[in-house]
Structure 1
Protein backbone atom coordinates (compact mmCIF):
# COMPACT_ATOMS: atom_id res chain seq x y z
CA UNK A 1 0.00 0.00 0.00
CA UNK A 2 1.04 3.59 -0.56
CA UNK A 3 0.72 6.52 1.79
CA UNK A 4 -2.79 7.37 0.55
CA UNK A 5 -4.13 3.90 1.37
CA UNK A 6 -2.15 3.71 4.62
CA UNK A 7 -3.63 7.04 5.73
CA UNK A 8 -7.14 5.86 4.92
CA UNK A 9 -6.71 2.65 6.89
CA UNK A 10 -5.14 4.54 9.80
CA UNK A 11 -8.02 7.04 9.79
CA UNK A 12 -10.57 4.20 9.84
CA UNK A 13 -8.82 2.69 12.84
CA UNK A 14 -8.81 6.05 14.62
CA UNK A 15 -12.50 6.65 13.90
CA UNK A 16 -13.41 3.33 15.45
CA UNK A 17 -11.17 3.84 18.47
CA UNK A 18 -11.53 7.59 19.10
CA UNK A 19 -14.30 9.05 16.94
CA UNK A 20 -14.12 12.24 14.90
CA UNK A 21 -13.69 14.76 17.68
CA UNK A 22 -10.84 13.14 19.57
CA UNK A 23 -8.86 11.97 16.53
CA UNK A 24 -5.89 14.19 15.77
CA UNK A 25 -3.74 14.30 12.67
CA UNK A 26 -0.91 12.88 14.78
CA UNK A 27 -3.14 9.94 15.77
CA UNK A 28 -3.75 9.15 12.11
CA UNK A 29 -0.05 9.45 11.28
CA UNK A 30 0.82 7.13 14.16
CA UNK A 31 -1.81 4.57 13.13
CA UNK A 32 -0.78 4.69 9.47
CA UNK A 33 3.00 4.88 9.76
CA UNK A 34 3.07 7.92 7.47
CA UNK A 35 3.85 11.61 8.05
CA UNK A 36 1.83 14.76 8.68
CA UNK A 37 2.53 16.29 5.29
CA UNK A 38 1.02 13.28 3.53
CA UNK A 39 -2.44 14.07 4.94
CA UNK A 40 -2.51 17.45 3.20
CA UNK A 41 -0.91 16.11 0.05
CA UNK A 42 -3.33 13.21 -0.42
CA UNK A 43 -6.56 14.48 1.18
CA UNK A 44 -6.25 18.23 1.66
CA UNK A 45 -7.14 18.13 5.35
CA UNK A 46 -7.60 15.83 8.30
CA UNK A 47 -11.37 16.32 8.13
CA UNK A 48 -11.46 15.38 4.44
CA UNK A 49 -9.48 12.23 5.26
CA UNK A 50 -11.81 11.37 8.15
CA UNK A 51 -14.85 11.87 5.91
CA UNK A 52 -13.38 9.46 3.33
CA UNK A 53 -12.57 6.99 6.11
CA UNK A 54 -16.14 7.20 7.42
CA UNK A 55 -17.56 6.60 3.95
CA UNK A 56 -15.21 3.65 3.53
CA UNK A 57 -16.31 2.17 6.84
CA UNK A 58 -19.96 2.52 5.82
CA UNK A 59 -19.27 0.82 2.49
CA UNK A 60 -17.51 -2.05 4.26
CA UNK A 61 -20.38 -2.26 6.73
CA UNK A 62 -22.96 -2.41 3.91
CA UNK A 63 -21.01 -5.08 2.03
CA UNK A 64 -21.34 -7.41 5.04
CA UNK A 65 -25.12 -7.51 4.53
CA UNK A 66 -25.35 -7.69 0.74
CA UNK A 67 -24.17 -11.29 0.53
CA UNK A 68 -26.52 -12.56 3.22
CA UNK A 69 -29.70 -11.07 1.78
CA UNK A 70 -31.61 -13.72 -0.07
CA UNK A 71 -35.30 -13.84 -0.78
CA UNK A 72 -37.74 -11.64 -2.57
CA UNK A 73 -36.86 -7.99 -2.91
CA UNK A 74 -38.89 -5.85 -0.56
CA UNK A 75 -40.28 -8.79 1.39
CA UNK A 76 -40.65 -8.82 5.15
CA UNK A 77 -38.17 -11.71 5.23
CA UNK A 78 -35.55 -9.60 3.48
CA UNK A 79 -36.39 -6.65 5.76
CA UNK A 80 -35.92 -8.81 8.83
CA UNK A 81 -32.69 -10.36 7.51
CA UNK A 82 -31.18 -6.91 7.03
CA UNK A 83 -32.04 -5.78 10.56
CA UNK A 84 -30.75 -9.05 11.99
CA UNK A 85 -27.48 -8.33 10.22
CA UNK A 86 -27.39 -4.74 11.43
CA UNK A 87 -27.95 -5.79 15.02
CA UNK A 88 -25.46 -8.65 14.79
CA UNK A 89 -22.82 -6.09 13.78
CA UNK A 90 -23.75 -3.44 16.36
CA UNK A 91 -20.71 -4.05 18.54
CA UNK A 92 -18.41 -3.49 15.58
CA UNK A 93 -20.36 -0.61 14.03
CA UNK A 94 -21.34 1.13 17.28
CA UNK A 95 -18.19 3.27 17.47
CA UNK A 96 -18.68 4.40 13.87
CA UNK A 97 -22.29 5.37 14.55
CA UNK A 98 -21.22 7.23 17.67
CA UNK A 99 -18.63 9.09 15.59
CA UNK A 100 -21.27 10.16 13.07
CA UNK A 101 -23.45 11.44 15.89
CA UNK A 102 -20.52 13.52 17.13
CA UNK A 103 -20.49 15.36 13.82
CA UNK A 104 -24.27 15.73 13.70
CA UNK A 105 -24.49 17.03 17.25
CA UNK A 106 -21.45 19.28 16.84
CA UNK A 107 -23.53 21.48 14.54
CA UNK A 108 -21.20 24.13 13.13
CA UNK A 109 -18.00 23.08 14.89
CA UNK A 110 -16.79 21.13 11.85
CA UNK A 111 -18.67 22.54 8.84
CA UNK A 112 -16.29 21.06 6.23
CA UNK A 113 -16.61 17.58 7.66
CA UNK A 114 -20.36 17.91 8.07
CA UNK A 115 -20.72 19.03 4.45
CA UNK A 116 -18.68 16.11 3.18
CA UNK A 117 -20.71 13.59 5.16
CA UNK A 118 -23.98 15.19 4.12
CA UNK A 119 -22.92 14.90 0.47
CA UNK A 120 -22.47 11.14 0.92
CA UNK A 121 -26.03 10.59 2.19
CA UNK A 122 -27.51 10.00 -1.26
CA UNK A 123 -25.03 7.17 -1.86
CA UNK A 124 -25.91 5.63 1.50
CA UNK A 125 -29.61 5.89 0.75
CA UNK A 126 -29.11 4.18 -2.62
CA UNK A 127 -27.30 1.35 -0.87
CA UNK A 128 -30.06 0.93 1.69
CA UNK A 129 -32.75 0.77 -0.98
CA UNK A 130 -30.76 -1.81 -2.88
CA UNK A 131 -30.19 -3.92 0.23
CA UNK A 132 -33.82 -3.80 1.34
CA UNK A 133 -35.52 -4.19 -2.03
CA UNK A 134 -32.95 -5.96 -4.18
CA UNK A 135 -33.19 -3.18 -6.77
CA UNK A 136 -29.85 -2.43 -8.44
CA UNK A 137 -28.58 1.02 -7.51
CA UNK A 138 -28.33 2.12 -11.14
CA UNK A 139 -32.10 1.63 -11.53
CA UNK A 140 -32.94 4.12 -8.79
CA UNK A 141 -33.88 7.70 -9.58
CA UNK A 142 -33.59 10.84 -7.46
CA UNK A 143 -37.17 10.50 -6.19
CA UNK A 144 -36.45 6.95 -4.99
CA UNK A 145 -33.36 8.16 -3.16
CA UNK A 146 -35.12 11.11 -1.52
CA UNK A 147 -38.28 9.26 -0.49
CA UNK A 148 -37.65 5.57 0.03
CA UNK A 149 -33.96 6.04 0.78
CA UNK A 150 -34.71 8.79 3.28
CA UNK A 151 -37.27 6.57 4.96
CA UNK A 152 -34.88 3.61 5.24
CA UNK A 153 -32.11 5.88 6.46
CA UNK A 154 -34.37 7.23 9.20
CA UNK A 155 -35.17 3.66 10.27
CA UNK A 156 -31.51 2.72 10.36
CA UNK A 157 -30.43 5.84 12.23
CA UNK A 158 -33.27 5.45 14.72
CA UNK A 159 -32.41 1.83 15.43
CA UNK A 160 -28.74 2.64 15.89
CA UNK A 161 -29.53 5.51 18.26
CA UNK A 162 -31.75 3.17 20.30
CA UNK A 163 -28.88 0.70 20.46
CA UNK A 164 -26.33 3.38 21.41
CA UNK A 165 -28.52 4.61 24.28
CA UNK A 166 -29.44 1.21 25.64
CA UNK A 167 -28.75 -2.02 23.75
CA UNK A 168 -30.94 -4.02 26.13
CA UNK A 169 -34.08 -2.03 25.34
CA UNK A 170 -33.45 -1.52 21.61
CA UNK A 171 -35.89 -3.27 19.29
CA UNK A 172 -34.89 -6.71 18.05
CA UNK A 173 -35.02 -7.50 14.34
CA UNK A 174 -38.22 -9.45 14.94
CA UNK A 175 -39.83 -6.54 16.82
CA UNK A 176 -38.64 -4.03 14.22
CA UNK A 177 -40.08 -6.13 11.40
CA UNK A 178 -43.37 -6.64 13.23
CA UNK A 179 -43.57 -2.89 13.82
CA UNK A 180 -43.01 -2.26 10.11
CA UNK A 181 -45.69 -4.80 9.16
CA UNK A 182 -48.19 -3.24 11.58
CA UNK A 183 -47.41 0.29 10.43
CA UNK A 184 -47.87 -0.71 6.78
CA UNK A 185 -51.18 -2.44 7.57
CA UNK A 186 -52.43 0.60 9.47
CA UNK A 187 -51.59 2.88 6.54
CA UNK A 188 -53.45 0.83 3.93
CA UNK A 189 -56.46 0.03 6.09
CA UNK A 190 -59.61 1.78 4.76
Structure 2
Protein backbone atom coordinates (compact mmCIF):
# COMPACT_ATOMS: atom_id res chain seq x y z
CA UNK A 1 0.00 0.00 0.00
CA UNK A 2 1.34 3.42 -0.87
CA UNK A 3 -0.17 5.28 2.07
CA UNK A 4 2.50 6.60 4.41
CA UNK A 5 2.27 7.03 8.17
CA UNK A 6 2.57 10.78 7.62
CA UNK A 7 -0.47 10.64 5.27
CA UNK A 8 -2.49 9.00 8.04
CA UNK A 9 -1.33 11.51 10.66
CA UNK A 10 -2.15 14.40 8.35
CA UNK A 11 -5.64 13.09 7.55
CA UNK A 12 -6.49 12.13 11.13
CA UNK A 13 -4.98 15.05 13.01
CA UNK A 14 -3.21 12.68 15.41
CA UNK A 15 0.49 12.22 16.02
CA UNK A 16 2.90 9.73 14.51
CA UNK A 17 3.54 7.90 17.77
CA UNK A 18 -0.17 7.09 18.20
CA UNK A 19 -0.05 4.68 15.24
CA UNK A 20 2.62 2.54 16.88
CA UNK A 21 1.04 2.80 20.31
CA UNK A 22 -2.48 1.78 19.25
CA UNK A 23 -1.79 -0.53 16.29
CA UNK A 24 1.87 -1.54 16.38
CA UNK A 25 2.54 -0.46 12.81
CA UNK A 26 1.13 1.51 9.91
CA UNK A 27 0.39 -1.75 8.08
CA UNK A 28 -1.56 -3.11 11.06
CA UNK A 29 -3.62 0.11 11.18
CA UNK A 30 -4.30 -0.02 7.44
CA UNK A 31 -5.23 -3.69 7.69
CA UNK A 32 -7.72 -2.98 10.48
CA UNK A 33 -9.16 -0.11 8.46
CA UNK A 34 -9.36 -2.27 5.35
CA UNK A 35 -11.14 -5.07 7.23
CA UNK A 36 -13.55 -2.48 8.66
CA UNK A 37 -14.29 -1.19 5.15
CA UNK A 38 -15.01 -4.70 3.92
CA UNK A 39 -17.35 -5.32 6.87
CA UNK A 40 -19.21 -2.04 6.23
CA UNK A 41 -19.38 -2.86 2.53
CA UNK A 42 -20.96 -6.25 3.29
CA UNK A 43 -23.50 -4.74 5.68
CA UNK A 44 -24.82 -2.51 2.87
CA UNK A 45 -26.02 -5.56 0.94
CA UNK A 46 -27.70 -7.32 3.85
CA UNK A 47 -30.62 -4.88 3.65
CA UNK A 48 -33.15 -5.87 1.02
CA UNK A 49 -32.38 -9.59 1.26
CA UNK A 50 -34.82 -10.40 4.06
CA UNK A 51 -37.52 -12.96 3.33
CA UNK A 52 -35.84 -14.41 0.25
CA UNK A 53 -34.24 -17.46 1.88
CA UNK A 54 -31.39 -19.03 -0.08
CA UNK A 55 -33.15 -18.57 -3.39
CA UNK A 56 -31.92 -17.50 -6.79
CA UNK A 57 -33.85 -14.27 -6.18
CA UNK A 58 -31.69 -13.63 -3.10
CA UNK A 59 -28.58 -14.51 -5.14
CA UNK A 60 -29.58 -12.01 -7.82
CA UNK A 61 -30.56 -9.32 -5.29
CA UNK A 62 -27.15 -9.54 -3.65
CA UNK A 63 -25.28 -9.20 -6.95
CA UNK A 64 -27.56 -6.33 -8.00
CA UNK A 65 -26.57 -4.59 -4.78
CA UNK A 66 -22.89 -5.30 -5.30
CA UNK A 67 -22.97 -3.97 -8.85
CA UNK A 68 -25.11 -0.96 -7.95
CA UNK A 69 -22.37 0.05 -5.51
CA UNK A 70 -19.48 -0.63 -7.91
CA UNK A 71 -18.50 3.02 -8.27
CA UNK A 72 -18.35 3.46 -4.51
CA UNK A 73 -16.77 0.02 -3.99
CA UNK A 74 -14.18 0.37 -6.75
CA UNK A 75 -11.47 1.74 -4.46
CA UNK A 76 -12.07 -1.09 -1.96
CA UNK A 77 -11.89 -3.66 -4.77
CA UNK A 78 -8.72 -2.07 -6.13
CA UNK A 79 -7.19 -2.10 -2.64
CA UNK A 80 -8.12 -5.79 -2.30
CA UNK A 81 -6.36 -6.55 -5.54
CA UNK A 82 -3.34 -4.47 -4.55
CA UNK A 83 -3.07 -6.38 -1.26
CA UNK A 84 -3.40 -9.72 -3.03
CA UNK A 85 -0.79 -8.86 -5.63
CA UNK A 86 1.64 -7.49 -3.04
CA UNK A 87 1.19 -10.32 -0.58
CA UNK A 88 4.89 -11.25 -0.49
CA UNK A 89 6.00 -7.67 0.17
CA UNK A 90 4.19 -7.41 3.49
CA UNK A 91 3.98 -10.76 5.27
CA UNK A 92 2.43 -9.16 8.38
CA UNK A 93 -0.37 -7.64 6.32
CA UNK A 94 -0.85 -10.91 4.48
CA UNK A 95 -1.15 -12.86 7.75
CA UNK A 96 -3.71 -10.44 9.18
CA UNK A 97 -5.85 -10.55 6.05
CA UNK A 98 -5.53 -14.33 5.76
CA UNK A 99 -6.84 -14.60 9.32
CA UNK A 100 -9.97 -12.68 8.26
CA UNK A 101 -10.76 -14.98 5.29
CA UNK A 102 -12.99 -17.33 7.28
CA UNK A 103 -15.00 -14.42 8.68
CA UNK A 104 -15.57 -13.04 5.18
CA UNK A 105 -16.63 -16.43 3.88
CA UNK A 106 -19.05 -16.86 6.79
CA UNK A 107 -20.57 -13.48 5.99
CA UNK A 108 -21.02 -14.36 2.34
CA UNK A 109 -22.75 -17.64 3.19
CA UNK A 110 -25.05 -15.84 5.63
CA UNK A 111 -25.94 -13.20 3.04
CA UNK A 112 -26.51 -15.63 0.19
CA UNK A 113 -28.33 -18.40 2.05
CA UNK A 114 -29.94 -16.56 4.98
CA UNK A 115 -28.21 -18.98 7.36
CA UNK A 116 -27.10 -17.58 10.72
CA UNK A 117 -23.31 -17.52 10.95
CA UNK A 118 -23.31 -19.46 14.22
CA UNK A 119 -24.90 -22.42 12.40
CA UNK A 120 -22.02 -22.75 9.95
CA UNK A 121 -19.22 -25.23 10.49
CA UNK A 122 -15.65 -25.28 9.17
CA UNK A 123 -16.63 -27.39 6.16
CA UNK A 124 -19.34 -24.87 5.20
CA UNK A 125 -16.82 -22.05 5.44
CA UNK A 126 -14.13 -23.82 3.43
CA UNK A 127 -16.41 -25.18 0.68
CA UNK A 128 -19.47 -22.99 0.21
CA UNK A 129 -17.80 -19.86 1.57
CA UNK A 130 -14.78 -20.40 -0.64
CA UNK A 131 -17.05 -20.87 -3.65
CA UNK A 132 -18.98 -17.66 -2.96
CA UNK A 133 -15.76 -15.79 -2.31
CA UNK A 134 -14.39 -16.95 -5.67
CA UNK A 135 -17.57 -15.69 -7.37
CA UNK A 136 -17.27 -12.31 -5.67
CA UNK A 137 -13.59 -11.95 -6.54
CA UNK A 138 -14.21 -12.98 -10.13
CA UNK A 139 -17.00 -10.43 -10.55
CA UNK A 140 -14.83 -7.80 -8.85
CA UNK A 141 -11.97 -8.43 -11.28
CA UNK A 142 -14.32 -8.37 -14.29
CA UNK A 143 -15.57 -4.98 -13.17
CA UNK A 144 -12.10 -3.58 -12.43
CA UNK A 145 -10.80 -4.77 -15.80
CA UNK A 146 -13.71 -3.53 -17.90
CA UNK A 147 -16.98 -2.42 -16.26
CA UNK A 148 -18.76 -2.29 -19.62
CA UNK A 149 -18.23 -5.98 -20.35
CA UNK A 150 -18.61 -7.24 -16.76
CA UNK A 151 -21.57 -9.56 -16.14
CA UNK A 152 -24.78 -7.96 -14.95
CA UNK A 153 -26.57 -9.39 -11.92
CA UNK A 154 -29.10 -10.96 -14.28
CA UNK A 155 -26.36 -12.58 -16.38
CA UNK A 156 -24.46 -13.70 -13.30
CA UNK A 157 -27.59 -15.30 -11.83
CA UNK A 158 -28.47 -16.98 -15.13
CA UNK A 159 -24.92 -18.31 -15.31
CA UNK A 160 -25.27 -19.72 -11.80
CA UNK A 161 -28.61 -21.31 -12.68
CA UNK A 162 -27.19 -22.85 -15.86
CA UNK A 163 -24.09 -24.13 -14.06
CA UNK A 164 -26.26 -25.76 -11.37
CA UNK A 165 -28.46 -27.38 -14.02
CA UNK A 166 -25.45 -28.65 -15.97
CA UNK A 167 -23.91 -30.17 -12.84
CA UNK A 168 -27.08 -32.05 -11.96
CA UNK A 169 -27.70 -33.53 -15.43
CA UNK A 170 -26.84 -37.14 -16.11
CA UNK A 171 -23.47 -37.56 -17.82
CA UNK A 172 -23.59 -37.17 -21.61
CA UNK A 173 -26.81 -35.09 -21.57
CA UNK A 174 -26.41 -31.68 -23.28
TM-score (norm 2): 0.95
* Deviation of 1:107 (Å): 3.3
Deviations 1:32-53, CA, capped at 9 Å, x for gaps: 1101100000000011111100
CA distance in 1 between counterparts of 2:51 and 2:164 reads 20
Kept in 1: contact 2:139–2:151 (CA 8 A):
yes
* Deviation of 1:73 (Å): 1.9
Runs of 4+ in 1 over 2 A off after TM superposition: none
* Deviation of 1:70 (Å): 2.7
CA distance in 1 between counterparts of 2:78 and 2:98 reads 16
CA distance in 2 between counterparts of 1:72 and 1:62 reads 17
Structure 1 position 178 matched with structure 2 position 128: no
- Matched residue of 2:115: which SS? coil
* Deviation of 1:67 (Å): 1.4
CA distance in 1 between counterparts of 2:132 and 2:89 reads 28
* Deviation of 1:125 (Å): 0.3
Give me the CA root mean square deviation: 1.1
* Deviation of 1:100 (Å): 1.3
Kept in 2: contact 1:73–1:134 (CA 8 A):
yes
Deviations 1:60-96, CA, capped at 9 Å, x for gaps: 0011011111333210000000000000111111111
The residue number in structure 1 matching 2:54 is: 74
Kept in 2: contact 1:130–1:137 (CA 8 A):
yes
User: Number of residues paired by the alignment?
Assistant: 170
Structure having the higher helix fraction is 1
Structure 2 spans left out of the alignment, 5+ residues: none
TM-score (norm 1): 0.87
CA distance in 2 between counterparts of 1:68 and 1:43 reads 35
Structure 1 spans left out of the alignment, 5+ residues: 1-20
